[in-house]
Amino acid sequence: MKRKEVSLIALLLCSTFSFAQTISASLKADSSHIQIGDHLTLQLQVDYSKSVIPQLPSLKDTIGNLEVVAVHATDTTTTGDKITLTQNIVASAYDSGTFRAGPVPIIFIQNGISDTLYSNAVWINVNTLDVDTAKPFKPIKAPLKVPYTWNEFLWVIIPVLFLIMLAIAGYLMWKEQQKKKPVLYTRPVPKDPPHIWAIKELKKLEEEKVWQKDEVKLYYSRLTEILRLYLEYRYRWFALEETTEEIEARISDYITKEKAKEMLLEVLRAADLVKFAKVLPMPNHNLSVMETAYKFIEWTKPEEENENKKSVKTT
């Protein structure tokens, strides 16, 4: 039994010696003395052969009893069969005294066996600021005035620019919509009442003797235009742009007298035959449509006009 135990111990010692030959770790500091709050740079270096797989520890909060400020990326260099890992760690202390950095544990695998190697420890003296108590205390200095930079106003400038661009885009869209809307032109309204105006226009057309000059189409066009404008002035019915069929479909909305409806449609249909079917009516028919137009105006003029005429005849 004693021989077996001795053999086992010898085997372990040989294994540890073998690891020591293939991997090593060291920790160095750029200074051994700092003041409270100053930064200290520690360099962890691991040298190993290609048969070893090392794993550096995650140093986030502390290294020994020093506070970790930052951990830099690992740098790798290869020289023959030797590989070197180097990592810089920035640390600090916020109290005076002697502080220890390390030892840092390095876990590695060699020949399928996992083990841990420790680096050396580094001792750091942290000193306080020298204060001459014999001198009077100085007043606290006011904060230094630092000039503003554009970066400090970006959180305001960017939203404002976005709102301005949004407003411009909205205005351009509104202008585009305004262009698409149809422009409504209002025709001048005559000073005379609609029926008086229509009778004057019919008489003017008669006096010009248009159809007698072989301008029959122009005669019927002007005749129907007078009647359509009369509907607009009398009933606010924009019939000038409507066809005869459209007027016939809506006539009951404005005119209640059946006789007046028949008169208007009779003139409009006769005019359509001349303008579109190129029908050439007889002279007596040209006179007849003018008389029908006069009668239509009489039938549809305001009732108060008819009442006034009756009262004049009675007196």
Residue extents of the structural domains in the chain: 17-127, 156-180, 194-308
Chain-wide mean pLDDT for the chain? 84
Q: Residue 229: which of 258, 270, 187 has the closest Cα?
A: 187
pLDDT exceeds 60 at position 53: yes
* Residue 14, pLDDT score: 39
- What CATH code is assigned to 17-127? 2.60.40.10
pLDDT exceeds 70 at position 312: no
Give me the count of residues in the chain.
315
pLDDT exceeds 60 at position 254: yes
pTM greater than 0.85 (yes/no): no
**Mean pLDDT across 16-29:** 72
218-231 residue pLDDT tens: 999 999 999 999 99
Q: Which amino acid is at 192?
A: D
* Residue 17, pLDDT score: 40
User: Rounded to whole angstroms, what are the CA distances from 36 to 40, 63, 94, 187?
Assistant: 11, 17, 5, 92
- Ranking 109-118, 130-139, 238-247 by mean pLDDT, the lowest is 130-139
* Rounded CA separation 89/60 (Å): 10
Position 120 confidence tier, pLDDT thresholds 50, 70, 90: very high
Cβ–Cβ under 8 Å, residues 19 and 53:
no
